Chain A
Amino acid sequence: MTDWSILLQLLFAGVGTGSIYALVAVGFNVIFKSTDAINFAQGEWVMMGGMIAAATIAVAQSPIWLACLFAVVIVTAVGMLSERLVILPLRRPTPLLITLVSIGLAICTKSAVMLTLGKNPAGYPGFEGDAVVTLSGASVPAQTLWIIGLTVVFMVLAHFFFERTILGKAMRAAAADRDAAALVGIKVRNTVLWSFAIAAMAGAVAGTIITPLTFTSYDHGTLLGFKGFSAAMLGGLGNLYGAVAGGLVLGLLETFAAGYLSSDFKDAVAFLVLLIILFWRPAGLLGRAAIEKV
C-alpha cells in the first residue's frame, strides 16, 4: 500500500471514529447546557443502543435498519424515564448532585443490561453487510461512510432543531437563564426532560451505527462515554459545534497515533494531547472562557 493510501485509510477511519465521539459529545453537551452537570450514563446509553439492536436482530431476525431504529426509540425512552425517576425527584438539583446521581444511574443501567442481555459480546453486520469501498487504494468499510453520513444528517437536524423549532429555542433559553425562561412561560423541568431524550437519542444512534465495526458488550460503554466526554471538553463544554470539532480531533488523533506510532499506547497519546490542549486553551477549541465579575 502506498503512503497516500495508508494516509487516506487512516483519515477515513479517524473521521469515522471522530463522528461517533462527536455524537456522544453532543449528548454530554445537551445535558450540560440544561443542567450544568456531567451525565455519566451517556456512555451506557451508547452501549445500550448497540446491545438492543443486536438482541432484536438475534431474536426477531429483523432488518438491520429497523432494529437500529427500534433500539434508538427504546433508549430514548429509557433516557426520559431515567430523568423522571432519578433527576426530577431531586429536591435541590445542583449540578454536583445531578452528576453524582448520574453515576449511580450509569451503574444501574450497565448492570441492568448485563442482567438482561448477558455478558457476551454482541454484533451484527453493517447496513451494507461487510462491504468495503476502495478509494485511491484505501480500503474503507462501507459502514464507516454510513457513520459519517448519518452523523452529518444528525448534526444538521440538531442544528435545525435548536435554531428553528420552538422547543429547541425554549431549551436554549432555559439553558441560558432558568429564571428568565420560567418567567416567560417555559416549563424548565420539561426542557431537562427533552435534553435527556435528545442525549439518549444521540447516544443510541452512535451505539447502533458503530457496533458493526467494533462489536459491543455490557462494559463497552464506559470507555466510549469517557472519550465522548473528552471530545466535549476539547470542543468546549456546552458548545454543540465544538462537540463536532472535539470529536473529530480526538478521533483523528487516536487513529493516527495508532497507525503511525503504536496501537498499544494510542489511548495514552490521545489523552496526552488532550491535556496539552487543556493547558494551552482551557476553554476548549471553541469555548469561551468564563469571566468572574467582582
Chain B
Amino acid sequence: MATVEISATSAVLRRPRRLSGNHLALGVVWLAAACFPLVAPNYFFVSLGIFFFINLILIASLNTLMGFCGQISLCHGAFFGLGAYTSGILSARYGLDALVSLPAAMVVAALSALLIGLPALRLRGHYLAMATLGFNAIVFVLFNRLVDLTGGPNGLLGVGPFEIAGWSPASDSGYFYLAWAAGGLVMLAILNLLRSRIGRALRALATSEIAADSLGVDCFRYKLMVFVLTAAMAGLAGCLYVHYNQFASPETFSFFASVLLVVMVALGGWGRYWGPIYGALIFTAVPELLRSAEDLELFLFGLSMILVLLLFPGGLAAAGESLVRRLRGRRTA
C-alpha cells in the first residue's frame, strides 16, 4: 500500500514512491523463491512448487475480489476450469499452442465473468454467493455432460505440453520458472492495482458502497472490472495447470473446489496482501503432508482447518503480523 510519511507541515510531505515497501518485499521473496529448484531434493518438490504458484494465482486473485473489494464469489473454480478446458481443448483437439491457448483461456474466463457478473453483481451478500454458486454448478454440469468436447467425467486427455512459438519448458524446473514468472506478474499486478486510484476506490466501496457512490465512484462498473480481471487470472492459472498435467477432469473445478478456495483465502488472511502466500502454502503442502495418512487425510484436513480458524480467526497472515509486532515490541522494551 502507499506508504507516505506526513509531518505537521505539508512542505515535508514525502511523495508516494514508485516502489513501495511491498514492492521491495515482493522482489526479495520472488528472488528467494527462484532458488527453490536448486535446493529442492527431487523433481517431486519442484512440481509442488509449480502447483504452489498456480494455487497462489487462484487464491491471490480471489482475495483481491473478496478480501479487498468485498464481493463474495463461489465460482472461482469455474473460471479456473474454463481456462483449463479452453486451453486443453484447443491443444488436444486442434493442436494449437499456448500462443493461442493462453490468451484464449483468459478471454473465455473473462467473458464468462462478464456474462455472469452483469446480472449477479447487482446482488449482495448471500444472493451474490448463491448466483456465483449456481453458475459454478451449471459450468460443472457442462464439463461433465458435453462429453464430445470435454471428455466428460473421465476427463480431457491428450493435452499437449506448454509451447509458445516453438519454445517449451524442457523440464519441471523450466515449468517451475514459467509458473514462478506468472505468479510474480499476478502478484505485481495486484499490488499495483491496490495502490492505485482504482484500488482505493475498490477498498472504499467494499466498506461503504453508498459513500463511494456519493463521492463519484461507479461502484457497479468497478465491481465488474475486478470480477472480470480476477476471472482472467484464474483462467491463466487454468492454462498453466492443464498444460502441466496434460489432463483435466471436472472434479477439480466443482463448487466444492470454489468453496475450498474461499477457505484458503480466509486461512491465509482475508484482505491482506500477503495472506494468499500462506493460503497457497497450506493448499499445496497440507494435502501432501497428510497423504501418508491416506483415508484419515480428509478428516485431518477438516480438523486442521477448524483448529486454524478457532485459533487464528484473522488468518495466518494476521497471526504472522502480530508475531512480528510482538517481537519488535520486545526488542524496544
Is A271 touching B137 in the complex (CB atoms < 8 A)?
yes
Which partner residue on chain B sits nearest A107 by CB separation? B302
Q: Which of B34-42, B95-103, B120-128 interfaces with chain A?
A: B120-128
Closest 4 CB pairs of A and B: A107-B302, A108-B302, A104-B305, A111-B298
Q: Contact check: which of A100, A267, A294 meets B137 at CB < 8 Å? A: A267
A contact residues, range: 35 or more
**What residues of A have a CB within 8 angstroms of the CB of B266 in the complex?**
96, 100
Interface: B296 (CB within 8 A): yes
In-complex Cβ contact of A230 among B120, B130, B142, B306 (8 A): B130
The answer to whether the Cβ of A195 comes within 8 Å of any Cβ in the partner chain is no
Tell me, yes or no, whether B180 is within 8 Å of chain A by CB: no
A278 x B123 contact (CB < 8 A): yes
Closest to A102 in B: B306
Complex contact B135–A275 (CB within 8 A) = yes
Number of interface residues of B (CB under 8 A): 37
Q: A91-B313, A114-B295 are in contact. Are A278 and B302 (CB under 8 A)?
A: no
- Which residues on the B side are within 8 Å of A152 (C-beta)? none
B2 CB-CB contact with A under 8 Å: no
* A265 sits at the interface (CB 8 A): yes
A interface with B by C-beta (< 8 Å): 38, 40, 86, 89-92, 94, 96-97, 100-101, 103-112, 114-115, 222, 226, 229-230, 233, 237, 264-265, 267-268, 271-272, 274-275, 278-279, 282-283, 292, 294
By the criterion CB–CB under 8 Å, are B302 and A105 in contact? Answer: yes
Question: Which residues of B are at the interface with A, using a C-beta cutoff of 8 A?
Answer: 119-120, 122-123, 126-127, 129-131, 133-135, 137-138, 141-142, 145, 210, 255-256, 259-260, 262-263, 266, 295-296, 298-299, 301-303, 305-306, 309-310, 313
Q: Is the CB of B298 within 8 A of A107?
A: yes
User: Which of B120, B259, B260 has the most C-beta atoms of chain A within 10 angstroms of its own C-beta?
Assistant: B259
Q: Assess whether B130 is in contact with A110, with CB atoms less than 8 Å apart.
A: no
B270 to chain A, nearest CB (A): 8
Given contacts A108-B306, A226-B255, contact A279 B298 (CB under 8 A): no
Of B123, B138, B305, the residue contacting A272 (CB under 8 A) is B138
- A1 CB to nearest chain B CB (Å): 27
Q: How far is the CA of A94 from the CA of B296 in the complex (A)?
A: 29
| A-chain residues with CB within 8 Å of residue B127 when the two chains form the complex | 233, 278, 282-283
B138 touches A233 (CB 8 A): no
A283 proximity list for chain B (CB < 8 A) = 127
- Asked if A275 contacts B295 (CB within 8 A), the reply is no
Complexed CA–CA distance, A278 and B133 (Å) = 12
Query: Is there an interface contact between A233 and B141, defined as CB atoms closer than 8 Å?
Result: no
Q: Is the CB of B305 within 8 A of A103?
A: yes
Given A92-B313, A230-B130, decide whether A108 and B123 contact each other with a Cβ distance below 8 A: no
Whether A115 contacts B296 in the complex (CB less than 8 A), given A107-B301, A279-B120, comes out as yes
Given known contacts A97-B313, A226-B255, A264-B145, what 17 new A-B pairs fall within 8 Å (CB)?
A: A103-B259, A104-B302, A104-B309, A105-B306, A107-B299, A108-B306, A111-B299, A229-B133, A268-B142, A272-B138, A274-B130, A274-B134, A278-B130, A279-B119, A282-B122, A282-B127, A283-B127
